[in-house]
Amino acid sequence: MHPHDVRVDHLPPEGATFDVRLDAAAATALLRERGLSEPLEARELSARIRVIPGGDDVFVLGELQGAVVGPCSRCLETCEQPLGGEFHLTFVHGNVPGEGGEMELHREDMDLELLQGDSIDLDAVVAEQLFLQLPTRAVCSEECRGLCPVCGGNRNDMPCACGDSTPDPRFAALAALRGSGAVSDD
Ligand SMILES: [Zn+2]
Ligand SMILES: [Zn+2]
């Protein structure tokens, strides 16, 4: 049996805690397997996951720690984006009978997953969280000034003079009008 397959019918009533680790190569391979278009690489991921039986359901609470490395969306410099977030999942059996009020309360604030057989694959849980927690837009720093649209220089490294010589688009429009003779210049 897979080491991170947790048999839910063997859990003690108070639940059990598992540490799942995914090395950088395995985590990066996951990103590639899913066809992620961004050139991201993952650092080592780890998660401490508590699995608690709750009647017909199984609650999975955890926290993912790790990081991905990729280009900043503004300056393109490689930067590390920390991941880290708690997650709360509820695994339910395929044939869920009528839902009681108490259960609905849980289901409102927890993501539902379908229990496949009698076990939960914690590696799959960590893989899913890796994708859910990926930054939508990586930035090296909130203050990143990005690349100059004129000379392409990294404005974090060196201020360039383009800012001064770039014509204000409003003046450019005015100049175009003048060129066409629409505005007289006397
Ligand atoms: Zn940047
Ligand atoms: Zn410039």
Angle between helices 24-33 and 122-132 (to 10 degrees): 70
What is the number of the ligand closest to the CA of 161? 2
Q: What is the mean pLDDT of residues 119-138?
A: 90
pLDDT of residue 139: 92
Domain ranges of the chain: 5-132, 145-186
Per-residue model confidence as pLDDT tens digits over 104-122:
545 555 578 888 788 999 9
Q: Span 79-99, mean pLDDT?
A: 80
CA–centroid distance, 146 to ligand 2, in Å, is 11
Q: Which ligand is nearest to the CA of 81?
A: 1
Q: Kindly give the distance from the C-alpha atom of residue 123 to the centroid of ligand 1, in angstroms, as a whole number.
A: 32
User: By CB neighbour count within 10 A (0-12 exposed, 13-18 middle, 19+ buried), where does 165 fall?
Assistant: exposed
Over residues 97-107, the pLDDT tens digits come to: 455 544 454 55
Query: What CA–CA distance (Å, rounded) separates 35 from 107?
Result: 31
Does 43 have pLDDT greater than 90? yes
Identify the bridge partners of residue 80 per DSSP, sorted by sequence position: 69
State the pLDDT at residue 101. Answer: 44
Cα 130 to averaged position of ligand 1 atoms, centre (Å): 22
41 vs 27: CA distance, rounded Å: 8
Query: Which 3 state secondary structure label does DSSP give 13?
Result: coil
With cut-offs at 50, 70 and 90, classify the pLDDT of residue 2.
low
Planar angle of CA 31, 115, 107, nearest 5 degrees: 95
Encode pLDDT of 69-82 as tens digits. Answer: 999 999 999 999 99
CA of 142 to the centre of ligand 1 (A): 8
Kindly indicate the confidence band of residue 181, based on its pLDDT and cuts at 50, 70 and 90.
Answer: low
Burial category of 109 from C-beta neighbours within 10 Å (exposed 0-12, middle 13-18, buried 19 and up)? exposed
Q: pTM here?
A: 0.71
pLDDT in tens, 138-172: 899 999 999 998 999 999 998 888 865 545 556 55
Mean pLDDT for the chain? 82
- Residues around ion ligand 2, judged by CB within 5 A, are 148, 150-151, 153, 160, 162
Percent of the chain with pLDDT over 70: 76
